[in-house]
Amino acid sequence: MAPPILALQGVGLTLGGKPLIEAADLVVERGDRICMVGRNGSGKSTLLKIAAGEIEPDKGERFFQPDATVRYLPQEPDLSGFDDVFSFVVAGLGPSDGDYRAHYLLHALGLTGNESPQNLSGGEARRAALARALAPEPDILLLDEPTNHLDLPAIEWLEGELASLRSALVLISHDRRLLQNLSRVTIWLDRGVTKRLNQGFGDFETWRDALLEQEERDAQKLDRKIAAEEHWVRYGVTARRKRNVRRMAGLATLRQAKRDAKKSVGEVKISVAEGKVSGKLVVEAENVSKSFGDRAVVRNFSLRMLRGDRLALVGPNGAGKSTLINLLTGALEPDSGTIRLGTNLQMATLDQRRAALDPNATLADTLTGGGSDWVEINGEKKHVIGYMKDFLFAPEQARTPTGKLSGGERARLLLARALSLPSNFLALDEPTNDLDLETLDLLQEMLGDYPGTILLVSHDRDFLDRVAGSVVAAEGQGKWIEYAGGYSDMVAQRGAGVGPAAKPKPAEKKPARVEAPRAEQKRRLSFKEKHALETLPEKMEKLRAAALRLHEILADHELYARDPKRFNDATALLARTEAELAAAEDQWLELEILREELSG
């Protein structure tokens, strides 16, 4: 058996006096597809840096094949020292690599290569670093959150690019769909220790839950054994003054085992403050248009949102998703058309830019508004420290300025503040940014139980499939179209993901329609053609009625969440019915034209 190209064994690292990683193992063989998962702050990025040779561990061993090549994508790349992006990317190529791949990757990621590193946004710097990592096709790719700052077209392109590479892959990501489609091995970093599942991410959650259940059973057994031994210490030696030394030592060992058996890291407890019931109509937009200069962002857009709807906006970066959500919530005035908001609306919003956070305000003041130690959720007051714990903040962080929080912590703080406000209408712009997988699960459950109306923007395909009842997609040049169902349903109906819609396949070349016959031929309609002309109108009416019934079924925005099979069956049947109707209409039109030509 060939040795691995990279191996970590018993790796440990302590930061700030606290062990972050205690006993981590990682073995990478050629062609591996490994995803690394764990809670935010569990040490995934640190372990990837150790694997890349960026950090030396306090203990353990790191083995790396001397002739192997590795490329590492950090979360915060450094482009200093380079005149432009192209020179930064080319510097990552090997001696035998050509520049053509650098040009290809930069173009695919929306960069020219002429950009100055000093003027790049955070997202552009990440895309440049991604191009540098992918360009040489190394033996091992170590990617830390490669989808951060990428829009849906770029994420789907990246997924295809990674799937086509021969490089071994170690991937950290919060994008479930990406992990499911690419991984074949899952490494779970939990409380400083790694556990390996030789299956992809699709099987991870079932496996993880089984491990945690077994751990809980073991903890209960240990508690019972300690209770039994303590009972003996108190009551089992009343006839003797001298304790049984062995039994006492055994009790001490059990107590130490209980102290060492660290509890699983806390779970986010997400609840939402519910407001009054809104009117049935929540938002109505009629022929709304919005332009910035010569660029039309929204053009002649109409929409009705009713109470309880879950509507998602999707599109490439720059398509105007944030503009549209601001129009629909009344934060932005349209150039033309009308937007009407319903009655009794209590709106809670989440801004993707995190601009709403005062970097100098403390965490506690941000949650309470200042001057109080209490947060009110659904009429019940809760101490701010307890509410912080629900979102995995330590009590000592109460006086921490928000400017010193990590990206994931800022995301949780904004979410905690938005959900503490009484609401019946949630407008969430990129709520999944920087959230770990467990927090995403709980957010999805909360949104599923939320009795009000939800309007959201997200690039997370799995999140959209789980939450959205309908999707409004950017079609380009200010045009937006609504599709029933989640993201996968939109792809099925549209024929493509976010980006240009799939062009219809060219129809098979049909025999040229018979020209009007010359007088001497006296061409007439055949019996079959006459019968089709007589029966096709009735057939078309039946197909239209069937399509209408299916549209009514799919108009139920809760159908997908309640009965996914029925929704999928209805969607497929509707597609077949409409295709059959279009074919019947084409056939009738051709025969009617032929009849007129023959009679003329």
Q: Indicate the number of domains in the chain.
A: 4
- Asked if 117 and 243 sit in the same domain, the reply is no
CA distance 334 to 297: 11
Virtual CA dihedral for 590, 593, 598, 600, nearest 10 degrees? 180
Q: In this structure, is residue 156 part of a structural domain?
A: yes
- Asked if 99 and 160 sit in the same domain, the reply is yes
Contact 485, 349 (CB under 8 A): no
- Asked if 246 and 322 sit in the same domain, the reply is no
- Of 260, 294, 329, the one marking the end of a domain is 260
- Asked if 233 and 297 sit in the same domain, the reply is no
- Asked if 223 and 195 sit in the same domain, the reply is no
Kindly report the backbone phi and psi dihedral angles of residue 276, in degrees, each rounded to the nearest multiple of 5, phi listed first.
-70, 160
Q: Which pLDDT belongs to residue 240?
A: 46
Q: Which pLDDT belongs to residue 334?
A: 94
* Rg from Cα positions in the chain: 30
Q: In this structure, is residue 483 part of a structural domain?
A: yes
Enter the tokens of residue 38.
């764990």
Q: In this structure, is residue 510 part of a structural domain?
A: no
- Asked if 234 and 198 sit in the same domain, the reply is no
- Asked if 374 and 348 sit in the same domain, the reply is yes
Q: In this structure, is residue 509 part of a structural domain?
A: no
- Asked if 127 and 193 sit in the same domain, the reply is yes
Q: Which residues pair with 472 in a beta bridge?
A: 313, 482
Q: In this structure, is residue 504 part of a structural domain?
A: no
Q: Which pLDDT belongs to residue 233?
A: 57
Would you write out the chain's pLDDT as a tens digit for each of its 600 residues? 568 999 999 999 998 778 889 999 999 999 999 999 998 778 899 999 999 999 999 999 999 998 899 999 998 888 988 999 999 999 988 877 778 888 999 998 889 999 998 888 777 888 999 999 999 889 999 999 999 888 888 899 999 999 999 999 999 998 999 999 999 999 999 989 999 999 999 999 889 888 888 888 877 776 776 666 665 555 555 444 444 555 556 656 655 665 555 444 455 565 555 666 778 899 999 999 999 988 999 999 999 999 999 999 999 888 899 899 999 999 999 999 999 999 888 888 876 555 567 888 898 888 888 778 888 776 678 888 888 887 778 888 888 888 887 766 777 788 788 777 788 899 988 888 777 787 788 788 888 888 889 999 988 999 999 889 999 999 988 999 999 888 998 988 888 777 654 444 444 444 444 444 444 445 567 767 777 888 888 888 888 888 888 888 877 777 777 887 887 788 778 878 887 887 887 787 778 777 777 776
What distances in angstroms separate CA 160 from CA 32, 163, 301, 526, one per listed residue?
A: 16, 5, 33, 52
Q: Which pLDDT belongs to residue 582?
A: 78
Q: In this structure, is residue 238 part of a structural domain?
A: yes
Q: In this structure, is residue 236 part of a structural domain?
A: yes
CA distance 544 to 212: 53
CA distance 81 to 227: 64
- Of 477, 494, 511, the one marking the end of a domain is 494
Q: Which pLDDT belongs to residue 310?
A: 92
- Domain CATH code at residue 63: 3.40.50.300
What distances in angstroms separate CA 429 from CA 250, 278, 324, 377, one per listed residue?
A: 56, 21, 11, 22
Whether the model pTM is above 0.95: no
- Domain CATH code at residue 554: 1.10.287.380
Residue 445 is part of which domain span?
Answer: 281-494
- Asked if 384 and 311 sit in the same domain, the reply is yes
Query: CA 112, 117, 120 angle in degrees (round to 5)?
Result: 75
Mutual orientation of helices 564-599 and 527-554 as an angle, nearest 10°? 150
Q: In this structure, is residue 39 part of a structural domain?
A: yes
Q: Which of 23, 106, 15, 107 is nearest to 59 (CA)?
A: 23
- Asked if 50 and 199 sit in the same domain, the reply is yes
- Asked if 201 and 227 sit in the same domain, the reply is no
- Asked if 112 and 98 sit in the same domain, the reply is yes
- Local structure of 591: helix, strand or coil: helix
Distance of CA 417 to the CA centre of its chain: 21
Q: Which of 171, 394, 380, 146 is nearest to 271 (CA)?
A: 380
